[in-house]
Amino acid sequence: LVTSSSQSPIQSPGRTVRSSSPQYQSMKNNNVLRYESKEKSVDKNKAQQKSLAKDNIKPVEIKLHTQQRARRRALFNYSMETKSYFIEQQKKTVEKVQKMIEEEEVRLLRKEMIPRAQLMPFFDKPFLPQRSTRPLTIPKEPSFMLNGKCSSYMNFSMFNTMKQVK
């Protein structure tokens, strides 16, 4: 049997059932009452079972690590900030030292670049040349003899040039 909550007739194969018929209404009411009484008895049983189960069950304390993670993250962020701050301070000190060194170099270069006059020579004592105490050099005759192939080539070329001159 097909039931419908709408006012229109329901068609089933071979027969038509209308929701307004008195037999259908009484069947419907009986079914609803039976269903409600079953639900109440089932609900009471479930409630008793749940109450027994609730008495035996103790809630487990759930410990979330969000607070610990937040503290660790804050500590990590702080350490990273301090590290970057120290690196920045170190860079600043290195830059200051470099700047001071460069300024000192520039100052020294400027000091050196100032043109200065040569000092006046002392004319108190006249220049008197003195004889040297080193021994004299002994001259040697140069050796023009060439060894090997070069000397034979030189002799050949000299011989040819002499003939042409005659």
pLDDT in tens, 26-65: 666 666 666 666 666 666 666 666 666 666 777 788 888 9
- Specify the pTM: 0.34
Residue for token pair 């040569």: 118
How many contiguous H segments (helices) and E segments (strands) does the chain have? 3, 2
Q: How far is CA 159 from the centre of its chain?
A: 85
What pLDDT score was predicted for residue 4? 47
Mean pLDDT (the chain) is: 75
Instruction: State the virtual CA torsion across 111, 114, 118, 120 in degrees, nearest 10.
Output: -80
> Of residues 28 and 127, which shows the higher confidence score?
127
CA distance 42 to 36: 10
For residue 57, give the nearest of 46, 65, 69, 49 by alpha carbon: 49
- Residue 44 phi/psi, 5° resolution? -65, -45
State percent of the chain over pLDDT 90: 30
E-assigned strands of 18-88?
Answer: none
What pLDDT score was predicted for residue 61? 84
* 8 A C-beta contact, residue 151 and residue 159: no
Q: What are the residue ranges spanned by the domains of the chain?
A: 21-56
pLDDT digits (tens, 9 = 90+) for 10-27: 544 555 444 556 666 666
Exposed e or buried b for every residue in 70-106, given b needs 16+ CB within 10 A? Answer: eeeeeeeeeeeeeeeeeeeeeeeeeeeeeeeeeeeee
Tokens for 36, please give them: 């409600």
